[in-house]
Amino acid sequence: MSKSAKTLRDCVLTLVLFFVVGNPMLFKLVNQVVNKLGAHNAISDKDGCPTQVGSVVHAVVFFYLFITLKMVTGGYGKRLSVDMVGFFVSVVLFWAISNRETYKYVNKFFNHVLRLKLDVSSPSGCPTQGGVVVHAVVFVLVT
């Protein structure tokens, strides 16, 4: 496989991973499981809007899945040497890009500054499916 094909494959896989892990439907599902363990609405509200704790938990899960994906596709070769800086940067980027406040500001930017009728979130910052796609693309471009 050529280098450009590998890069394209890695970008698409990263985009899909972000979309799945950062999706409000997954937040809602994980929250239902956590609620049964006793922590009421720790991950998201009843509609799937992530809490700050939920965003951090999903960022850590994203990191581990991202590293696994890189190992499976040969992105790290046969070795596993990921430094703590890489861990920190991945977690912070995922958290920042998938955060409710970020969704809220991006939504305001699209609707008020650019005057596009593209809702990436509700007014409270709860992401839409389209918003998750937009943020996944941004994550891929940033990383």
- C-beta atoms surrounding 121 within 10 Å: 26
Question: pLDDT value at position 75?
Answer: 61
Q: How far apart are CA 6 and CA 14, in angstroms?
A: 12
Sign of the CA dihedral running 31, 32, 34, 40: positive
Does residue 24 carry a pLDDT above 80?
A: yes
- Cβ neighbors of 56 (< 8 A, separation 6 or more) are 91, 95
Instruction: Give φ, ψ of 95 to 5 degrees.
Output: -60, -45
At 70-119, the pLDDT tens digits run 778 776 555 555 556 776 787 889 999 999 999 999 999 988 888 888 88
Query: What is the tens place of the pLDDT at every residue in 44-60?
Result: 988 889 998 999 899 98
